[in-house]
Amino acid sequence: MSSEAILLDSTNVADVVLPFQVDGLDVRGRIARLGPTLDAVLAAHAYPAAVARLLAEALTLTALLGSVLREEGGQLTLQAKSNGPVSLLVTDYKAPGEVRGYAEFDPEKIAGIEPGASLPELFGEGYLALTVDQTASNDRYQGIVALEGASLAEAAGSYFETSEQLPSRVRLAVRHDGLANRWYAGGLLIQHLPRGEEGAQRLFAADAPHPNWQHATVLADTLRDEELTDPSLTLETVLWRLFHQDQPRIYTPIVITKGCRCTRERIQSVLRQFSFNELMDMREPDGAIRVNCAFCSKDFVFERPAEKD
């Protein structure tokens, strides 16, 4: 076993993403688990259980996808917009590992929906957009697909199949410890490496799934939700259980934290873009302008300057 092989004595059990590769199956992937960071994001709003669970899944998916960004400041944003009970879901990742997110919903429509409801029940009809901003090259990429599938994991898999033509399998799981009021979420993303033997057809372009990919997805589907969300079980142990026969390799873990870019200075720079009359229209009865950050629910108050005598 190489020095990059799975280490079973790791203490990385939550708020971390582990990149890995299984050469024998032509698979690359990432596995993640969120804990305290997830609690911190969800605590900013009093979300109903169904919305909190959905946002937890989205944050985990965003951590899995965004952790491919190597350059500090690079950003990935996931957005789902619909005409259903949950009208808007936004999460983003800023390298090297900050996540944030929020959801907008209709309280009356969401009241009768149980946690773990299907995507159509939560969203109705809508779209899923994924935007990637690279800071060094100033490149910006966006892919948009219909919000389809029974779950967010299925919708994400469809996104990769449609937008990137890359066979992918996504697993997401969420657990709420009601006694301790703690949330845990976990996710697995595996993708078929877009390469093939010299002179042969590229693996992802074949008409039928490659046997290696079929085997990898069968293994991924044996993963239990409890394994993804159990804070006493290391992610290395989970990977070893899934792929030990094919000698998986893991790379440097990526630590995930809660982050928000709202600052008084940033908001002031935005307000300066409005005209004097527009700013006057924003004032409340006491003359102040109040701005609320949708992500962290923090209020910023800009008071009217005192008049000179």
The predicted-structure confidence for 120-172, as pLDDT tens digits, reads as follows 999 999 999 999 998 756 778 899 989 989 999 999 988 888 887 889 999 99
CB burial of residue 309 (10 Å; 0-12, 13-18, 19+): exposed
| pLDDT (0 to 100) of residue 1 | 33
Domain membership flag for residue 211: yes
Same domain, 205 and 165: yes
Domain membership flag for residue 307: no
Same domain, 150 and 271: no
Residue 146 sits in a domain whose CATH number is: 3.55.30.10
Same domain, 153 and 269: no
Q: Name the stretches of the chain with pLDDT < 70.
A: 1-12, 136-137, 194-208, 304-309
Domain membership flag for residue 6: no
Same domain, 181 and 279: no
Q: Structure pTM?
A: 0.86
Same domain, 197 and 268: no
| pLDDT (0 to 100) of residue 296 | 84
Same domain, 163 and 281: no
How many whole angstroms separate alpha carbon 86 and alpha carbon 54? 10
Domain membership flag for residue 170: yes
Domain membership flag for residue 308: no
Helices (runs of H) and strands (runs of E) counted in the chain? 10, 14
Structural domain harbouring 238? 16-258
- Overall domain count for the chain: 2
Same domain, 280 and 149: no
